[in-house]
Amino acid sequence: MKTSEKVQALLDSPISAYRIAKDTSISVSTILGLRSGDRQLLNITLGTAEKLANYWEKNRNNLGGEIHEK
């Protein structure tokens, strides 16, 4: 699974923006902007993408729904 797919899966999950922000040190406004489409996923820094992808990896069993690996 690509990093962008992991990040998108996390953004589409029921985990609150506050929880993601608190656990990743990424601002709530960044998470909310990505979720609402005000910020584009392609424009985030590599560091932010890695933090979100790593968070998805650690929490993928709690995201609701099945995770399909390629």
* Residue-level pLDDT at 28: 97
Say yes or no to pLDDT of 70 above 50.
no
- Confidence grade of residue 17 (pLDDT, cut at 50, 70, 90): very high
Q: Is 63:56 a contact under the CB 8 Å cutoff?
A: yes
Residues 6+ apart with CB under 8 A from 61: 67
* Residue-level pLDDT at 65: 45
| pLDDT tens profile 25-66 | 999 999 999 999 999 999 999 999 999 999 999 988 776 544
Residues 6+ apart with CB under 8 A from 23: 55
- What is the Cα–Cα distance from 19 to 8, expressed in whole angstroms? 16
